[in-house]
Chain A
Amino acid sequence: MFSLRARAALLSIAVLLAFLGFWQALASGSPGESARTQYESLVAGDAQTARVPPPSKVLSLAVEQLSDPFYDRGPNDKGIGTQLLYSLGRVLVGYLLALAVAIPTGFSIGMSPLLMRAMNPFIQLLKPVSPLAWMPLALFVIQDSVTSSVFVIFVCSLWPVLINTAFGVSSVNADYLNVAKTLELGPLRTALTVILPAAAPTILTGMRISIGISWLVIVAAEMLVGGVGIGYYVWNEWNNLDLAAVIFSIVMIGLVGMLLDWLLGRAAELVSFKA
């Protein structure tokens, strides 16, 4: 019979088609054509906006947007590609800053039981705070909306990487450390050549979680602060009642998120090993 891969692909396509068909049916069959009073037809205008647009409309919009993704017709009207790149840029800056802080800190915490115990209460207290709750404080202190959103990304990316790094480092197999000891390796060399590679899979798992959270948060953060970015684009299109654009943006956000996760997944594979 067909291989598992082929059957899964067929099932995916079937589910997609079923969903699209259901959506199309929902969007087309509308009660809006029934009789309206004269007053209603005067003020309601073209009452298409009351319905979720059908997939055909979203698709045509997608084709139109993707054919010219980087157009620029003013500060509030830029192509989808530009919007996504701005968002990605902010995510990358915040994310890389978070890595630069979290990995060395996590390393130190993992290596020192004293630090682990001392810092744990702070980590546990700050970790559950929604990154968006930091936004008002950030805006007040930093007084720049773009930098504030980067800061919010920084804060939300910090915790998974920090915790996973500390955990990975503290649970390095004692055997490897003994090997390093019998070879008279200094602490720096041990850290770089033994502990880091041993903890790398765990660290990369943390990084993968963080990138997913960052991408989630940037959309929300941009809705709050505005500017050029996919989050603000979604909100703006909602204000324009252009639901097709909103749905299209959702799909694009999902695709970019998928890509980011895939990239980190490949990186995780590169450092992985079977113990």
Chain B
Amino acid sequence: MSQLPFLYVENLSKQYSAPRGKAAHVVFENVCFGIEKGEFVCIVGHSGCGKSTILNIIAGLDQSSSGYVYVAGREVNRPGLSRGVIFQNHSLLPWKTALQNVAFSVRARWPDWSKSAVREHSLKYLHMVGLKDAEHKRPAQLSGGMRQRVGIARAFAIEPQILLMDEPFGALDALTRGTIQDELIRICAETRQTVFMITHDVDEALYLSDRVLLMSNGPHAEVAETVEVTLSRPRERASLVRSLEYFELRSRVLDFLVNRTEGTQHGQRSLQQDPASQESQRPDLGSAGQERGHVGNVGGVMRLR
């Protein structure tokens, strides 16, 4: 039997039982993909297709209706230090300083380290994300970008086997986003971190990742396509924009998002979806309960059968 990929998601599906005898609402099904060690994989798709749910299931914060998740060959079904998570809203503990937040995670990972070892390790990662002088500030005193950087430092500091990121830059402005993306690439190159990231930003997905998974819309959403990002590293933003290869990849992904996200098996919509309205959907916020509402919102024509 061939070696399983480092992260292997097998036949994952999620459904919610509908009340009063109606058929169950299937968010996604038969989701199957693998991520090798050191790979950076992004998943893109419209709001409500279930990307956050997949991430939460991998993280152990949510349960799948069926299917399994394997990390390094072993099944995982609850949260753990092997999978670090960067949440969409930083989720820093607001009563702790930046340094204390990172140290909190480090101490949880290595409980028998000395105080100075924990502090040194935490400072190293804070410096890595460019927060040299902000270590004694609480999250309320930091800007959005800085908070997200602390979240990144905190996740990297525990050196997880897999890093899961749920639209980590969604709340940031474009300039800050660019800066932090570059830092992220640099850190990932240094630490050879395995990453699984959700994003709405096609450019971001192509800039950061080795592979992009394209997810169709729900109900019965699935990973419809995989795009190998063959752009050579290190990637330079300025030259990338003029690269023909980049343009082709980008067109391919956009074409999928605009034209081909209709469910192939079950849902032929009665009304044509307006691409403009799709682009402006709110990013899903990673809560399983909200997924349901979003599916109802997309196109406005989903009917629970």
- Chain A residues with CB under 8 Å of chain B are 175-176, 178-179, 181-185, 193-194, 197-198, 200, 271, 273-275
Provide the residues of chain A in CB contact with B79, threshold 8 Å: 178, 181-182, 184
Report Cα–Cα, A198/B59, bound state, in Å: 23
Interface-lining segment among B34-42, B65-73, B87-95, B261-269:
B87-95
- Known interface pairs A175-B87, A182-B85, A273-B140. Does A198 touch B95 (Cβ–Cβ under 8 Å)? yes
Q: Is B229 interfacial (CB 8 A cutoff)?
A: no
Q: Is B293 interfacial (CB 8 A cutoff)?
A: no
Provide the residues of chain B in CB contact with A185, threshold 8 Å: 108
B77-116 interface (Cβ within 8 A of A)? 79-81, 83-85, 87, 89, 91, 93-95, 104-105, 108-109
- Known interface pairs A273-B140, A274-B140. Does A184 touch B80 (Cβ–Cβ under 8 Å)? yes
Provide the residues of chain A in CB contact with B89, threshold 8 Å: 175
How far is the CB of B191 from the nearest CB of chain A, in Å? 18
Q: Is B145 interfacial (CB 8 A cutoff)?
A: no
| Chain A, residue nearest B83 (CB) | A182
Specify which of A182, A193, A198, A271 is in contact with B61 (CB 8 Å cutoff): A182
Query: Are A274 and B84 touching (Cβ within 8 A)?
Result: no
1/0 per residue, CB under 8 A from A, across B45-85: the answer is 00000000000000111000000000000000001110111
| Chain A, residue nearest B138 (CB) | A273
Query: Are B94 and A183 touching (Cβ within 8 A)?
Result: no
Provide the residues of chain B in CB contact with A183, threshold 8 Å: 81, 104-105, 108-109, 158
Specify which of B60, B80, B93 is in contact with A179 (CB 8 Å cutoff): B93
Interface pairs (13), CB distance under 8 Å: A178-B87, A179-B87, A179-B91, A182-B60, A183-B108, A183-B158, A184-B80, A184-B81, A198-B93, A273-B94, A273-B95, A273-B138, A274-B140
Report Cα–Cα, A33/B109, bound state, in Å: 87
| Chain B, residue nearest A176 (CB) | B93
Provide the residues of chain B in CB contact with A193, threshold 8 Å: 104
Provide the residues of chain A in CB contact with B81, threshold 8 Å: 182-184
Query: Are A184 and B61 touching (Cβ within 8 A)?
Result: no
Interface of A is mostly: helix
| Chain B, residue nearest A189 (CB) | B108
Report Cα–Cα, A179/B151, bound state, in Å: 11
- Chain B residues with CB under 8 Å of chain A are 59-61, 79-81, 83-85, 87, 89, 91, 93-95, 104-105, 108-109, 138-140, 158
Residue with the greatest number of chain B CB neighbours at <10 A, chosen from A176, A182, A185: A182
Report, nearest first, the 8 A-B pairs whose CB atoms are least far apart: A274-B140, A183-B108, A175-B91, A181-B79, A273-B95, A273-B94, A182-B79, A197-B95
Report Cα–Cα, A271/B138, bound state, in Å: 13
- Known interface pairs A176-B91, A198-B95, A273-B94. Does A181 touch B140 (Cβ–Cβ under 8 Å)? no
Query: Are A184 and B108 touching (Cβ within 8 A)?
Result: yes
Specify which of B60, B93, B138 is in contact with A181 (CB 8 Å cutoff): B60
- 15 further A-B pairs in the complex, CB-CB below 8 A; given A178-B79, A178-B91, A197-B93: A175-B87, A175-B89, A175-B91, A178-B87, A182-B60, A182-B81, A182-B84, A182-B85, A185-B108, A194-B93, A198-B95, A271-B95, A273-B95, A273-B138, A274-B94
How far is the CB of A218 from the nearest CB of chain B, in Å? 33
How far is the CB of A117 from the nearest CB of chain B, in Å? 21
Query: Are A274 and B138 touching (Cβ within 8 A)?
Result: yes
Provide the residues of chain B in CB contact with A178, threshold 8 Å: 61, 79, 85, 87, 91
Report Cα–Cα, A217/B87, bound state, in Å: 48
Report Cα–Cα, A227/B139, bound state, in Å: 53
Report Cα–Cα, A175/B147, bound state, in Å: 15
How far is the CB of B287 from the nearest CB of chain A, in Å? 8
Report Cα–Cα, A197/B138, bound state, in Å: 14
Report Cα–Cα, A179/B83, bound state, in Å: 12
Provide the residues of chain A in CB contact with B139, threshold 8 Å: 274
Report Cα–Cα, A194/B91, bound state, in Å: 12
Provide the residues of chain B in CB contact with A181, threshold 8 Å: 60-61, 79
Provide the residues of chain A in CB contact with B91, threshold 8 Å: 175-176, 178-179
Provide the residues of chain A in CB contact with B95, threshold 8 Å: 197-198, 200, 271, 273
Provide the residues of chain A in CB contact with B104, threshold 8 Å: 183, 193
How far is the CB of B167 from the nearest CB of chain A, in Å? 14
How far is the CB of A175 from the nearest CB of chain B, in Å? 4
How far is the CB of A67 from the nearest CB of chain B, in Å? 46
How far is the CB of A80 from the nearest CB of chain B, in Å? 41
Provide the residues of chain A in CB contact with B84, threshold 8 Å: 182
How far is the CB of A173 from the nearest CB of chain B, in Å? 8
Report Cα–Cα, A182/B160, bound state, in Å: 11
| Chain B, residue nearest A200 (CB) | B95
How far is the CB of A192 from the nearest CB of chain B, in Å? 12
Query: Are A182 and B93 touching (Cβ within 8 A)?
Result: no
Residue with the greatest number of chain B CB neighbours at <10 A, chosen from A178, A185, A274, A275: A178
- Known interface pairs A176-B91, A194-B93, A274-B94. Does A182 touch B138 (Cβ–Cβ under 8 Å)? no
Provide the residues of chain A in CB contact with B94, threshold 8 Å: 273-275
Report Cα–Cα, A170/B85, bound state, in Å: 24
Query: Are B59 and A182 touching (Cβ within 8 A)?
Result: yes
